């Protein structure tokens, strides 16, 4: 028998899964409940860093940036300062929902002839650091130095590599081997670091300390900018100092639709947010149009999943047709997320037979998502990414971060609204979600995973709103992932065992899958509560009490993460 201390893979572990003692028995864990705030991320060290910021007096915006910086260290293949950020946040001081587009633009030298899937010509100008700066200046309370210190410490001291992160590292090893600086930074003897080994990135620690001292300008004008541009020139890239200087995040208005008494808020183009809203609208329209109520059917019905999959196909057909940078293209958002259009779309669904959509290339996965909330009522839905594993595979020497490959999602078709052009933002998969009810914040949620994101949003929302799942159960439930490219539906194994044959009979091409391609979900929700007055001793001042209610947090068992609160 392999000694416990040497076991690195539980794949051969043959035991049956145990049950909870109450509630929905397959649920992986309870929701995390807290009064003063919650941080939910895909990696425990990042969650703990954000929580410590809250305990030290920072707010949810501060905690999100601190956690995001740590995720650059511990999930380096998924996200980092060489990538992009999107945020939807409820700002308690302003009593409003805001959205920040921190995605980068194509450099001035970008052309269809220079378009690439990986390598230096696949990189857009990184938007993450600028987005952090813009977000903090509007709503943060702490400095870059304070917020980036936990990430710098972990990068310098090292962290233990988990099974899941090691698996992601294996996926990225091939692209890392194309760049000597990536090999030197991210591979150990030419290989991904082993599970349970300690991985250090002192160059990235230095980068965070530079940012702590110099702020945003250290990245876009200072020594980091100089190193980035030198690397680009060495590889024949077209990025310039003017491209970095011109980087700016934009405040935009979230888009939304009502769904069974809730307002579902998503990010507008250049992201795929409208596909979530269109999908939900189609499903809602199918109740009067087709006599289909999801709650009545339930998730043990093949027809339930058939309707979801067919609605997804219709929404994604529009997504791949229209999504682009709205500064360069007219996108009929009002029509696409309207109830009348959804009714038209619903009439295209054949309840007895699966449709065949036009084949479209589906975006790949990567990415991290996190959610935070604080004692004052701020709530943040935050996502950022390099796109594919380790992005373009290009590491900036001396600074320990890789550049994204977001330009891979541009089109080279001159008739496409998403055709590559200088200064243009590409089609983006990144998707923070938010739910409000009666004009008040309810839930910050998201789900990473490329083309899985929009269809994953719809699934967890339906679990909560139609089926009554709690925050954790909504993410634990089995999901599907449909690929528009080959019209294949992957079902998590338990769902495949339950309904795979019935869905095949409806004409779907189905395959059994594990959770790797189903996306990593995090969520934070607020439940208001009337509280009795806080007792105050004679002669003393009343203590500051958190917002009246309870925060609930959840984290996906498919990733390494956790929700933590205080």
Report d(CA 443, CA 264) in Å as an integer.
10
| Alpha carbon distances (Å) from 521 to 85, 248, 459 | 17, 28, 11
H/E element holding 154?
helix 144-157
| Alpha carbon distances (Å) from 54 to 36, 38, 95, 137 | 8, 8, 20, 18
| Alpha carbon distances (Å) from 155 to 203, 215, 219 | 8, 19, 18
Note if the pTM is more than 0.85: yes
- What long-range pairs does 185-193 form, CB within 8 A, spacing at least 24? 185/395, 185/400, 186/76, 186/390, 186/395, 186/402, 192/166, 193/161, 193/166, 193/169
pLDDT at 559: 94
The total of other beta-carbon atoms located within 10 Å of residue 198's CB is 11
SS (H, E, C) 497-554: HHHHHHHHHCCCEEEEECHHHCCCEEEEEEEECCCCCCCCCCCCCCCCCCCCEEEEEE
Q: Is the pLDDT of residue 90 over 50?
A: yes
Six token digits for residue 33: 């409940």
Domains and CATH numbers, the chain: 40-252+372-405 (no CATH), 255-363+436-528 (1.10.246.130)
* pLDDT band at residue 2 under the 50/70/90 scheme: very low
Residue among 343, 352, 263, 266 at smallest CA distance from 307: 352
* pLDDT band at residue 14 under the 50/70/90 scheme: confident
* pLDDT band at residue 541 under the 50/70/90 scheme: low
Question: What values do phi and psi take at 163, rounded to 5?
Answer: -60, -45
Q: Is the pLDDT of residue 285 over 90?
A: yes
Residue among 196, 201, 189, 180 at smallest CA distance from 77: 201
pLDDT at 38: 98
Q: Which of 218-227, 265-274, 356-365, 453-462 has the lowest mean pLDDT?
A: 356-365
DSSP letter at 58?
-
* pLDDT one-digit tens code per residue, 182-201: 999 999 999 999 999 999 99
| Alpha carbon distances (Å) from 206 to 49, 79, 183, 184, 369 | 18, 18, 19, 16, 25
* pLDDT band at residue 1 under the 50/70/90 scheme: very low
pLDDT at 538: 63
Rounded to an integer, the average pLDDT of 445-474 is 97
Sheet holding 96-102, edge to edge: 250-252, 96-102, 84-91, 379-385, 368-374, 37-41, 562-565
pLDDT at 10: 62
Q: Is the pLDDT of residue 273 over 50?
A: yes
Percentage of the residues of the chain whose pLDDT score is greater than 90 = 89
Six token digits for residue 131: 């987005």
Q: Could you tell me how many residues make up the chain?
A: 566
Six token digits for residue 173: 């090893």
Residue among 358, 423, 425 at smallest CA distance from 387: 425
Rounded to an integer, the average pLDDT of 47-72 is 98
Rounded to an integer, the average pLDDT of 269-283 is 98
* pLDDT one-digit tens code per residue, 119-177: 999 999 999 999 999 999 999 999 999 999 999 999 999 999 999 999 999 999 999 99
Six token digits for residue 220: 């876009």
Rounded to an integer, the average pLDDT of 258-270 is 97
Report d(CA 557, CA 111) in Å as an integer.
41
Rounded to an integer, the average pLDDT of 65-83 is 98
Diameter over CA atoms, the chain:
76
* pLDDT band at residue 508 under the 50/70/90 scheme: very high
Rounded to an integer, the average pLDDT of 369-389 is 97
* pLDDT band at residue 289 under the 50/70/90 scheme: confident
Residue among 174, 266, 244 at smallest CA distance from 456: 266
Q: Is the pLDDT of residue 354 over 50?
A: yes
Report d(CA 133, CA 217) in Å as an integer.
10
- In 345-450 the beta strands, taken as DSSP E runs, fall at 368-374, 379-385, 432-437, 440-447
Q: Is 247 helix (H, G, I), strand (E, B) or coil?
A: coil
pLDDT at 17: 85
* pLDDT one-digit tens code per residue, 421-439: 999 999 999 999 999 999 9
Percentage of the residues of the chain whose pLDDT score is greater than 70 = 96
The residues annotated as belonging to the active site are 367
Q: Is the pLDDT of residue 6 over 80?
A: no
* pLDDT one-digit tens code per residue, 108-117: 999 999 999 9
> Are the beta carbons of 446 and 454 closer than 8 angstroms?
no
> Are the beta carbons of 241 and 232 closer than 8 angstroms?
no
pLDDT at 267: 98
* pLDDT one-digit tens code per residue, 515-528: 999 999 999 999 99
Rounded to an integer, the average pLDDT of 275-289 is 94
Report d(CA 265, CA 434) in Å as an integer.
5
- At which residue do the structure tokens 């084949």 appear? 359
> Average pLDDT, whole number, for the chain?
95
Q: Is the pLDDT of residue 12 over 70?
A: no
pLDDT at 540: 59
Label residue 521 left, alpha or beta by phi (over 0 means left) and psi (-120 to 50 means alpha).
beta
> Are the beta carbons of 306 and 354 closer than 8 angstroms?
yes
Q: ∠ CA(302), CA(292), CA(502), 5° rounding?
A: 10
3-state DSSP helix/strand/coil percent for the chain, to nearest 5?
A: 40, 20, 45
Report d(CA 222, CA 215) in Å as an integer.
10
> Are the beta carbons of 271 and 430 closer than 8 angstroms?
yes
- What long-range pairs does 146-149 form, CB within 8 A, spacing at least 24? 146/53, 146/58, 146/62, 146/212, 147/53, 147/58, 147/62, 147/65, 147/66, 147/69, 148/65, 148/66, 148/69, 148/208, 148/209, 148/211, 148/212, 149/208, 149/212
| Alpha carbon distances (Å) from 407 to 96, 116, 424, 526 | 32, 7, 10, 37
pLDDT at 388: 96
């Amino acid at each position: 028998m392999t000694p416990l201390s040497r076991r690195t893979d539980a794949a051969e572990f043959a035991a049956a899964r145990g049950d909870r003692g109450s509630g929905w028995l397959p649920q992986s864990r309870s929701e995390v409940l807290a009064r003063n705030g919650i941080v939910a991320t895909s990696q425990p060290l990042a969650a703990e860093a954000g929580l410590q910021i809250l305990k030290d007096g920072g707010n949810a915006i501060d905690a999100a940036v601190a956690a995001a910086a740590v995720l650059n260290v511990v999930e380096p293949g998924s996200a980092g300062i060489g990538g992009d950020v999107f945020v939807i946040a409820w700002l308690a001081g302003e009593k409003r929902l805001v959205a920040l587009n921190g995605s980068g633009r194509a450099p001035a030298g970008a052309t269809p002839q220079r378009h690439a899937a990986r390598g230096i010509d696949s990189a857009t100008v990184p938007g993450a650091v600028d987005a952090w700066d813009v977000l903090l200046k509007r709503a943060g309370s702490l400095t870059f130095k304070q917020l980036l210190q936990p990430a710098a410490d972990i990068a310098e001291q090292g962290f233990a590599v988990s099974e899941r992160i090691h698996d992601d590292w294996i996926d990225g090893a091939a692209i890392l081997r194309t760049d000597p600086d990536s090999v030197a930074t991210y591979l150990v003897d030419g290989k991904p670091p082993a599970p349970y080994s300690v991985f250090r990135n002192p160059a990235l620690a230095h980068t965070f300390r530079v940012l702590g001292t110099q702020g945003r300008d250290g990245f876009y004008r200072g020594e980091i900018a100089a190193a980035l541009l030198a690397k680009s020139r060495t590889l024949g890239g077209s990025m310039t100092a003017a491209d970095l200087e011109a980087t700016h995040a934009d405040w935009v208005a979230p888009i939304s639709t009502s769904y069974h008494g809730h307002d579902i808020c998503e990010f507008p183009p250049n992201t795929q947010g409208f596909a979530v809203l269109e999908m939900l609208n189609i499903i809602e329209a199918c109740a009067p149009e087709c006599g289909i109520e999801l709650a009545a059917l339930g998730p043990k019905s093949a027809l339930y999943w058939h309707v979801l999959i067919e609605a997804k196909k219709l929404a994604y057909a529009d997504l791949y047709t229209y999504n682009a940078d709205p500064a360069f293209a007219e996108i009929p958002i009002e029509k696409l997320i309207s109830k009348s259009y959804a009714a038209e779309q619903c009439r295209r669904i054949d309840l007895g037979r699966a449709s065949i959509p036009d084949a479209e290339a589906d975006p790949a996965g990567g990415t991290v998502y996190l959610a935070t909330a604080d004692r004052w009522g701020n709530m943040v839905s935050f996502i950022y990414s390099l796109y594919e594993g380790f992005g373009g595979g290009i590491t900036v020497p001396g600074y320990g971060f890789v550049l994204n490959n977001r330009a891979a999602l541009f089109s080279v078709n001159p008739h496409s609204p998403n055709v590559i052009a200088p200064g243009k933002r590409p089609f983006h998969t990144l998707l923070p979600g938010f739910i409000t009810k009666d004009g008040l914040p309810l839930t910050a949620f998201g789900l990473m995973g490329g083309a899985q994101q929009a269809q994953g949003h719809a699934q967890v929302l339906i679990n909560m709103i139609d089926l009554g799942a709690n925050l954790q159960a909504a993410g634990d439930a089995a999901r599907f992932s449909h690929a528009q490219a080959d019209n294949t539906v992957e079902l998590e194994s338990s769902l495949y065992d339950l309904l795979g044959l019935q869905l095949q009979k409806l004409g779907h091409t189905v395959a059994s899958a594990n959770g790797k391609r189903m996306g990593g979900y995090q969520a934070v929700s607020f439940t208001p509560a009337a509280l009795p007055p806080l007792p105050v001793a004679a002669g003393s001042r009343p203590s500051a009490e958190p917002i009246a209610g309870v925060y609930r947090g959840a984290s996906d068992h498919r990733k390494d993460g956790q929700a933590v609160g205080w």
